[in-house]
Amino acid sequence: MTDRLAALRSSVEHLTSLIGDVDVLVPESPAFPSDWSIADTMSHLGSGAVIMKANVENVLARRAGTTDFNQSVWDAWNAKSPSDQVTDALVAITTLQEHLESLTEDQRGEFRFVMGPFDLDFDGYVGLRLNEQALHTWDIDVVLDPTATLSDEVAGVIVDDIGTIVRLAGAAHGEEKVVRVRTSAPARDLALIFSGDAIELQEERYSDEIDVRISSEAFIRLVYGRLASVPDSFADDREQIECLRTSFPGF
């Protein structure tokens, strides 16, 4: 099993445990952000799992999907009750995971998915799902436990795939600068390059001038607009981290 697929399995199991461990789960309760309920978040993950599984099947069968398929899935999930959105999502998420794991090496090798800015092989496609799965799981986790974080296993995979999200989510606001970031767990030296209204991420090697020190999981949540406050362990770089938060409002 690839690192991304194993991390995705870990995230699926965490979400299943999270939902199952709540004695009285109120699906209508707010998740993060608060304009989404837990049921909304689960519906998003569940419908996305159905669509992604269909995408895999279409790619391997070398056929084009129907133009109205995604909308039909969203309509079906929007029509579900909040409680059904939660329970059905767990089924859909697990089904997708099992389907991905069942593919042969040959099927994984021939897989190619192209959509918008994405041109993905099998590992890249799994990574795309991992990002969505892990961050939306955190959206539920954090309202149940305000200290919730991404696991080191998940963060260790996502941090090496975060460049595309930096480009999509970041806004330089006209600034021209380079912010050198050193992460921990795992350790990475990264450079955020601000230019015009865009931000690019590059990997640095043995940089001596570090502007921000932060854990990989907190850096990922920062890029996704989910770092509500600066962890005390990185308080020395609080001002710089707060500035970065304004450049990554979330999406």
Supply the CATH number for residue 70's domain.
1.20.120.450
Q: pTM higher than 0.75 for the full model?
A: yes
pLDDT band at 206 (very low <50, low <70, confident <90, very high): low
The answer to whether residues 21 and 134 belong to one domain is yes
Per residue in 21-77, pLDDT (tens digit) is 766 679 999 999 999 999 999 999 999 999 999 999 999 999 988 999 999 999 999
pLDDT band at 7 (very low <50, low <70, confident <90, very high): very high
The answer to whether residues 85 and 195 belong to one domain is no
Domain count within the chain:
2
Is residue 194 within 8 Å of residue 177, measured between CB atoms?
yes
Instruction: In whole angstroms, give the CA distance from residue 238 to residue 184.
Output: 16
pLDDT at 89 > cutoff 90: yes
Rg, the chain, Cα only: 19
Cis amide bond preceding 186, omega within 30? yes
The answer to whether residues 66 and 175 belong to one domain is no
pLDDT band at 115 (very low <50, low <70, confident <90, very high): confident
Strand locations in the chain (E): 113-115, 118-120, 177-184, 188-195, 198-204, 212-215
Give domain status of residue 92, yes or no: yes
* Domain end among 114, 145, 176: 145
Instruction: In whole angstroms, give the CA distance from residue 91 to residue 94.
Output: 5
Which tokens belong to 192?
């955020």
Which tokens belong to 213?
């020190």
pLDDT band at 226 (very low <50, low <70, confident <90, very high): very high
pLDDT of the residue at 118:
83
The answer to whether residues 30 and 120 belong to one domain is yes
> Residue 86, Cα to own-chain centre: how many angstroms?
19
* Domain end among 120, 145, 170: 145
Domain range holding 50? 3-145
Supply the CATH number for residue 165's domain.
3.30.1050.10
Give domain status of residue 164, yes or no: yes
Is residue 224 within 8 Å of residue 248, measured between CB atoms?
yes
The answer to whether residues 56 and 125 belong to one domain is yes
The answer to whether residues 23 and 138 belong to one domain is yes
